[in-house]
Amino acid sequence: MRPMDRRTITLLVIIFLIFSATGCLPPAKPPPAYYTLDPGPASELTGLEHGLAIGIGPLWLAPHLKRLQIVTRESNTQLRLSESHQWAEPLQVAIYSIIAIKIASELNTNSIYEFPLRRKRPLDYRVAIDVLRLDGRIGGEVECVARWIISSGDGKKELVSRISRIVKSTQGEDYDAFIQAESRAVAALGKEIADAIKSKM
């Protein structure tokens, strides 16, 4: 090592120690808080298989929702993606769980399957869902907008095609209240789908 290199390294070490002693180094960034939607009790999915066989899927999310950061709305055109508040699992997985549990509860069935199926199985109904919006304002309202189609089990006949818009109050000024409101909105979507299936039974 050349003398100049040693002097440079020594100077850098001294500068680092001075900044450390005076507290001028930037504070360590705290880890993000992680959240998941609240699916509620899943007891309807336990036990031996019974009831209508329903395939849920494909379940599509708008591109801005396919990320770890929790999305809130600043205005009609501006979104905020939080680095300090993130999803603990893909949002698509959490939405599927809530809808599956809600449909199971409303229709008294636990024969709920993710579609396309991993193995060949006869179905009574198929449900395809496009989630176009799931966001809102902290301390304000959450809005869920989704297009969904119910088809016959073999997929040859379209039975219901609808767009749902569901609004829920956050009932609080923090992210936990915001996530709870999103959970209630997705559960309400699941109930609308279940009610539509009932009308076709």
Burial of 111 (0-12, 13-18, 19+ CB in 10 A): middle
> What distance, in Å, lies between the first and last C-alpha atoms of the chain?
82
pLDDT digits over 80-107, tens only? 999 999 999 999 999 999 999 999 999 9
pLDDT digits over 127-183, tens only? 999 999 999 999 999 999 999 999 999 999 999 999 999 999 998 999 999 999 999
Q: Which domains does the chain show, CATH number per domain?
A: 32-200 (3.40.50.10610)
How many angstroms separate the CA atoms of 181 and 127, rounded?
23
The pLDDT value recorded for residue 1 is 44
Residues 6+ apart with CB under 8 A from 146: 129, 130, 131, 132, 133, 163, 164, 189
Inter-residue contact 91 to 98 (CB < 8 Å): no
The pLDDT value recorded for residue 12 is 59
| Sheet-wide strand order for 125-136 | 111-114, 53-61, 125-136, 141-152, 158-169
pLDDT digits over 25-78, tens only? 556 678 889 999 998 877 667 777 889 999 999 999 999 999 999 999 998 889
